[in-house]
């Protein structure tokens, strides 16, 4: 849970848990730090922040964090593009799912014109 969503009882439990497990504590700190990435609007600044965060994650020595950092590095261009443009492909991907459901429900289409008609009908909803 994010700190702002914790009840006082859960906050106490979290502090106890984090004090018992150093790896979990480091992961929790890095998770909160990574939220800062979404506040950047300049690609160069976001890139520098991402480089520092990846370096910190690697320095922890935690294999899962190292793997996650490598994944972030592979997705670097997409992450930085989002910071600059604030556009995702979520709507397009959702519409692709709608098209797949249309084709699945019909068990395929022999007539492409009819398929296009059904897609247009869904797009208007």
Q: What percentage of the chain reaches a pLDDT higher than 90? A: 57
Residues in CB range of 10: below 8 A, 6 or more apart: 1
| Same-domain pairing of 8 and 69 | yes
79 and 56 part of one domain: yes
Q: Would you put residue 72 in left (φ > 0), alpha (ψ -120 to 50) or beta?
A: alpha
Q: Is the pTM of this model over 0.75?
A: no
Domain match, 95 and 75 both: no
Q: Are residues 81 and 96 in the same domain?
A: no
Distance CA 11, CA 56 (A): 25
pLDDT tens per residue, range 72-114: 999 999 999 999 998 888 888 999 999 998 888 888 778 888 8
User: How many domains is the chain built from?
Assistant: 2
- Residue 16's domain comprises 3-85
Residues 15 and 69 in one domain: yes
Residues 78, 46 share a domain: yes
């Amino acid at each position: 849970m994010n700190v702002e969503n914790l009840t006082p009882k859960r906050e106490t439990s979290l502090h106890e848990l984090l004090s018992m497990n150093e790896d979990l504590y480091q992961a929790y700190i890095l998770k909160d730090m990574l939220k800062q990435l979404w506040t950047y609007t300049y690609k160069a600044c976001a890139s520098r922040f991402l480089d520092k965060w990846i370096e910190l994650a690697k320095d922890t020595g935690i294999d899962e964090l190292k793997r996650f950092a490598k994944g972030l590095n592979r997705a670097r261009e997409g992450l930085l593009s989002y910071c600059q443009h604030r556009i995702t492909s979520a709507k397009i991907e959702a519409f692709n799912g709608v098209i797949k459901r249309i084709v699945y429900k019909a068990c395929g289409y022999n007539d492409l014109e009819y398929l296009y008609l059904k897609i247009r009908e869904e797009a208007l909803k």
